[in-house]
């Protein structure tokens, strides 16, 4: 039986091996050789805009509302912040209290690294997040980092002028009706400050 310190070291070695394997394949964020997937979503928090891109060209822009603390990156569950980073659509729910829901892959590996360094999550939770992201699956959403962050509509509620979500990205019901059928699982979602 491996004790807790041994298990943590084992997870760290497995994670390090996975990171090295991906590094050997080339940097995913090296934009000189990167052709964006079709489609992609670019979220600009400061502008309160989300852009739908096809083949690297912006085809449509959407007005968005964010979490109640919109200017900072998400750090932990319940902070009311919208994350910043590179994510993908990891879940699609056609029926949600907010009309349709496109779940994104928060927390990603960078978020897990920050959370582990800050002692918010355990090595096991870090590894679960790492492997979910490597498999392109939804990451665990029940950690101290929070989760179940996504893009959704208003769900028939009256549109608000201010940011109102708990960290999600809200668009109008008409806009989520437009996006939901054309945004497949795995679609890149890049969220900028």
Sheet holding 57-63, edge to edge: 57-63, 49-54, 40-44, 188-192, 85-96, 99-104, 150-152, 169-170
Local structure of 16: helix, strand or coil: helix
CB 93 within 8 A of CB 73: no
Task: Report how far apart, in Å, the C-alpha atoms of 66 and of each of 50, 83, 171 are.
Answer: 11, 10, 9
Residue 186 is predicted with a pLDDT of 96
Q: Does 98 reside within a domain?
A: yes
Residue 167 is predicted with a pLDDT of 93
Annotate 92-124 with DSSP letters as a single string. EEEEETTEEEEEE--S-HHHHHHHHHTTSS-HH
Q: Does 141 reside within a domain?
A: no
Separation between Cα atoms, residue 64 and residue 85, nearest integer Å = 17
Q: Does 51 reside within a domain?
A: yes
CATH of the domain at 48: 2.40.440.10
Buried b (16+ CB within 10 A) or exposed e, 65-103: bbbeebeebbbbbebbbbbbbebbbbebeeebebbbbbb
Q: Does 112 reside within a domain?
A: no
Q: Does 74 reside within a domain?
A: yes
Domain span at residue 63 reads 35-106+146-192
Instruction: Supply 125's token pair.
Output: 């939770």
CB 110 within 8 A of CB 138: no
Residue 153 is predicted with a pLDDT of 96
Q: Does 43 reside within a domain?
A: yes
Q: Does 121 reside within a domain?
A: no
Residue 68 is predicted with a pLDDT of 85
Residue 125 is predicted with a pLDDT of 98
Averaged pLDDT in 10-residue chunks for the chain of 193 residues: 59 59 49 63 97 94 92 85 96 95 97 97 98 96 94 87 92 98 97 96
Residue 27 is predicted with a pLDDT of 47
Residue 162 is predicted with a pLDDT of 87
Rounded to two decimals, the pTM is 0.79
CB 169 within 8 A of CB 150: yes
User: Could you give phi then psi for residue 117, rounded to 5 degrees?
Assistant: -65, -35
User: What is the number of structural domains in the chain?
Assistant: 1
Q: Does 184 reside within a domain?
A: yes
């Amino acid at each position: 039986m491996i004790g807790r310190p041994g298990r943590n070291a084992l997870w760290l070695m497995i994670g390090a091996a996975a990171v090295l394997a991906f590094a050997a394949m080339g940097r995913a964020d090296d934009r000189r050789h990167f052709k964006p997937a079709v489609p992609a979503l670019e979220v600009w928090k400061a502008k309160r805009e989300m852009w739908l891109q096809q083949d690297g060209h912006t085809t449509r822009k959407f007005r968005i509302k964010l979490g109640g603390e919109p200017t900072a990156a998400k750090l932990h569950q319940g902070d009311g912040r919208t994350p910043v980073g590179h994510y993908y659509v990891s879940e699609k729910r056609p029926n949600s209290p907010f009309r349709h829901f496109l779940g994104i892959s928060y927390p990603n590996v960078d978020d897990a690294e920050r959370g582990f360094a800050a002692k918010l999550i355990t090595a096991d939770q870090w590894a679960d997040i790492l492997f979910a992201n490597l498999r392109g699956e939804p990451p665990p959403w029940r950690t101290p980092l929070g989760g179940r962050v996504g893009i959704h509509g208003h769900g028939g509620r009256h549109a608000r002028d201010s940011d109102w979500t708990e960290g999600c990205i809200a668009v109008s019901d008409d806009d989520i009706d437009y996006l939901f059928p054309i945004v497949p699982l795995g679609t890149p979602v890049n969220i900028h400050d």
